[in-house]
Homo-oligomer: A and B are copies of this chain.
Amino acid sequence: MTSLHREDSECFGLALAEAHAGYDEGGLPIGAALATSDGVIAVGRNRRVQSGSAIRHAEMDCLENAGRLPASTYRGATLYSTLSPCYMCSGAIVLFGIPRLVVGGEIDFEGPRAVLEGNGVEVVLRHDKGSLDLIDRFIAEHPAVWAEDIGVVLDAEPGPPTL
């Protein structure tokens, strides 16, 4: 069972705006937001290209922008992301005890989702076409940057021609 919250569309819209801003900067177009029933705590977006960062996936950037928080704050929060979180970001959600995750589109989510749900995190999948169209466009334009961001080894470059 997944629950729909009144604020979900608004908060997810903030994450999607971050994804678009990232695309406009030439970065990986993935955005995130962290909110409680009291309001939005922070937003963030993938910073690999813009900041040369290995760890600032959108969710991580959002958590970093939120600053140091006591665990009790995370316990009442929802994390929104335009794309399904990887193992690192899913691990951060489990670490901080964020109980609820709203995701736009999913790519390779099976393993991380099992970690999330195995640790009691509620996952709400929106099947948001806009989120997936944006990342699909970026992957087509910059396949090597995408591979780097998800730790995938690209096929070896062809060697020099042989006689």
User: Footprint of B on A, CB under 8 Å?
Assistant: 48, 52-56, 60, 63-64, 66-72, 74-75, 86-92, 94-97, 111-112, 115, 119, 147-148, 150-154
Contacts and interface: CB of A to CB of B under 8 A. Distances in A.
Number of copies: 2
A71 B147 contact: yes
A112 to B, nearest CB: 8
Given A55-B92, A71-B154, A97-B153, 10 more contacts: A53-B68, A55-B63, A75-B153, A86-B95, A87-B95, A88-B88, A88-B91, A88-B95, A91-B115, A111-B119
A68 B91 contact: no
Contacts of A89: 91
Contacts of A86: 91, 95
A48 B74 contact: no
Contacts of A72: 153
A70 B119 CA distance: 31
Nearest to A72: B153
B148 A68 contact: yes
Given A72-B153, A151-B71, A66 B54 contact: yes
B53 A64 contact: yes
